[in-house]
Amino acid sequence: MTDTFPEGLQAAADRVQRARENFARFSKNLEREIEILESGDVSPKALGKDPKVTCRQYEAALTYLHEQEAEFAKQCEAITGVINGDALDLAEAKQEILGRVTRLRERAGG
């Protein structure tokens, strides 16, 4: 367990992966609906008052889904990297930060 992921890294990775799978499924279903709308082979009720507006709304939703999929992919890669040992070396990062602070103080005359 970590402060960032109290349920544990693997549980967080699993949760993000499930979200990615759900968004991929939603995207696929929405793409299918857009194809149906564009074909015109639907009932007038399903098209709504303005079929073009309905289609644009579906396409906007699809764009949003793709953006979310990309965000989940980034999160999944970050978590998986930590699980697989690609995490930041904190001691090395601390030394780098202290070195930079020291150089800043020296430049400032302190």
Is 106's pLDDT higher than 60? Answer: yes
Domain ranges for the chain: 9-108
Is 21's pLDDT higher than 80? Answer: yes
Paired tokens of 110: 């302190």
The pLDDT of 57-70, averaged and rounded, is: 83
The pLDDT of 36-60, averaged and rounded, is: 77
- Say if pTM beats, i.e. exceeds, 0.85: no
